[in-house]
């Protein structure tokens, strides 16, 4: 459990796609995660049992989600991904995204 955090002081993990992932606060059944991407990064289509809400803090992404047209989102854009829905992104600029997951992404804690 992490109750209070300061993003810049948290360690990050580099994902296989090259993003930096920082776990911010989490507890109970909710987790907040920051992702920082360079331009041109692709997060391949994937799915998970967690619900996910995302917010584009800065930059530009193309959201790819099963059942929806590809959508470009810039700073201030947000999205919801239902459990087990295939989704991914492509970045078109250096980008920061905040994602909230429920339940907690236990795979991010290992």
pLDDT at 36: 97
Q: Give me the mean pLDDT over the 33-37 stretch.
A: 97
Domains present along the chain, CATH in parentheses:
24-109 (2.60.120.10)
Q: What is the mean pLDDT of residues 59-79?
A: 98
- What pLDDT does 32 receive? 98
Is residue 97 predicted with pLDDT exceeding 90? Answer: yes
Q: What percent of the chain is helix, strand and coil (3-state, nearest 5)?
A: 5, 55, 40
What is the percent of the chain where pLDDT is above 90?
98
Q: Are 61 and 91 in contact (CB under 8 A)?
A: yes
Q: What is the mean pLDDT of residues 66-90?
A: 98
pLDDT at position 50: 98
Whether residue 91 contacts residue 45, with contact meaning beta carbons closer than 8 Å, is answered with no
pTM: 0.95
Q: If you average pLDDT over residues 68-94, what whole number do you get?
A: 98
57: left (phi over 0), alpha (psi -120 to 50) or beta: alpha
pLDDT given at position 11: 93
Q: Is the pLDDT of residue 110 over 90?
A: no
């Amino acid at each position: 459990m992490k109750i209070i955090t300061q993003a810049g002081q948290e360690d990050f993990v580099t994902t296989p796609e090259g993003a930096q992932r920082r776990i911010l606060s989490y507890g109970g059944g909710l987790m907040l995660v920051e992702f920082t991407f360079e331009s041109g990064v692709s997060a391949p289509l994937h799915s998970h049992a967690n619900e996910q809400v995302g917010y584009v803090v800065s930059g530009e992404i193309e959201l790819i989600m099963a059942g929806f047209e590809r959508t470009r989102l810039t700073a201030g854009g947000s999205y919801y991904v239902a459990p087990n829905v295939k989704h991914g992104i492509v970045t078109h600029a250096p980008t920061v995204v905040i994602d909230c997951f429920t339940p907690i992404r236990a795979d991010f804690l290992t």
